[in-house]
Amino acid sequence: MPTMNQLVRKGRESKRRTKRTRASNKCPQKQGVCLRVSTRSPKKPNSALRKIAKVRLTNRNEIIAYIPGEGHNLQEHSVVMVRGGRVQDLPGVKYHCIRGVKDPQGIPGRRRGRSKYGTKKPKDYIRIYPKNRIPTVFSVHLPIGFTHQDFQRGWERKEIDFVAEQKAFMRFAYPTVDIYATPWKGFCHQDLGAVGQAHTIAQTIWAISGGA
């Protein structure tokens, strides 16, 4: 332990934390060219074949980047965009390839986490309604013999209270009881409970789609 005189003369040096992504030169993303594409096995206890690529950046630094997702089309001389981000079970891999930018293609058919894997928005996700057009989902609550076109005309002429119809449909559609899982002494105990107010719309969509 240093003495007081030694601390007065020299003082204590603050610890310098080295950055893991020094090769990118403080850039959030960096472009590069693939030199080699290969696989590597992760640390214990994990077991797999992780896809990695050796990339030469535009600043002449060579790094090893991880290729996320299932399947890829990268090969030698492919142009990629990399970002910082380590892989927990791959020592020395401190970068990620960005899918959907430059040569790497996005994962087709992915529904969740699409922004992480460069997947475009599916066409069946896009619902564009014309002006004064209501979603067809509310036509389920219409009486027999009353078509959606009749509802559309009534809505345009202000003959139908859209808010009242929507509230009536919500009361008609969503379930009143849901199953909640509660952890207890290492086990998962399931109980019946009332549907919360925040889950009303989600439960309604679930009921309309047939529970799919």
Per-residue pLDDT tens for 41-85? 999 999 999 999 999 999 999 999 999 998 899 999 999 999 999
Average pLDDT in the 96-123 region? 88
Domain assignment present for 122: no
CB 100 within 8 A of CB 81: no
**Mean pLDDT for the chain overall:** 76
Average pLDDT in the 122-127 region? 61
φ/ψ of 87, rounded to 5, equals -110, 125
Beta bridge pairs of residue 64 = 54
- Angstrom CA distances, 57 to 24, 90, 165, 168, stand at 8, 20, 59, 60
Q: What is the CATH number of the domain that holds 86?
A: 2.40.50.140
Domain assignment present for 9: no
Q: How many domains does the chain have?
A: 3
- Angstrom CA distances, 178 to 107, 125, 172, stand at 34, 26, 16
68 and 150 assigned to the same domain: no
167 and 191 assigned to the same domain: no
Domain assignment present for 61: yes
Q: Which one, of 87, 40, 42, lies nearest residue 68 by Cα?
A: 87
> What range does the domain containing 85 cover?
22-117
pTM for this one? 0.56
Average pLDDT in the 174-199 region? 62
32 and 112 assigned to the same domain: yes
Give the pLDDT score at 50.
93
Domain assignment present for 75: yes
Average pLDDT in the 125-139 region? 45
181 and 169 assigned to the same domain: no
89 and 160 assigned to the same domain: no
37 and 84 assigned to the same domain: yes
Beta bridge pairs of residue 55 = 34, 63
pLDDT surpasses 80 at 94? yes
- Angstrom CA distances, 24 to 97, 98, 129, 149, 202, stand at 13, 14, 45, 58, 43
Domain assignment present for 15: no
Alpha helices in the chain (DSSP H): 4-9, 114-117, 148-156, 162-173, 200-208
Residue 121's contacts (CB-CB under 8 Å, 6 or more residues apart) are: 114
Domain assignment present for 124: no
104 and 151 assigned to the same domain: no
155 and 187 assigned to the same domain: no
48 and 87 assigned to the same domain: yes
- Angstrom CA distances, 182 to 4, 186, 192, stand at 58, 10, 11
Give the pLDDT score at 19.
84
Domain assignment present for 195: yes
| Alpha-carbon span 20 to 64, nearest angstrom | 12
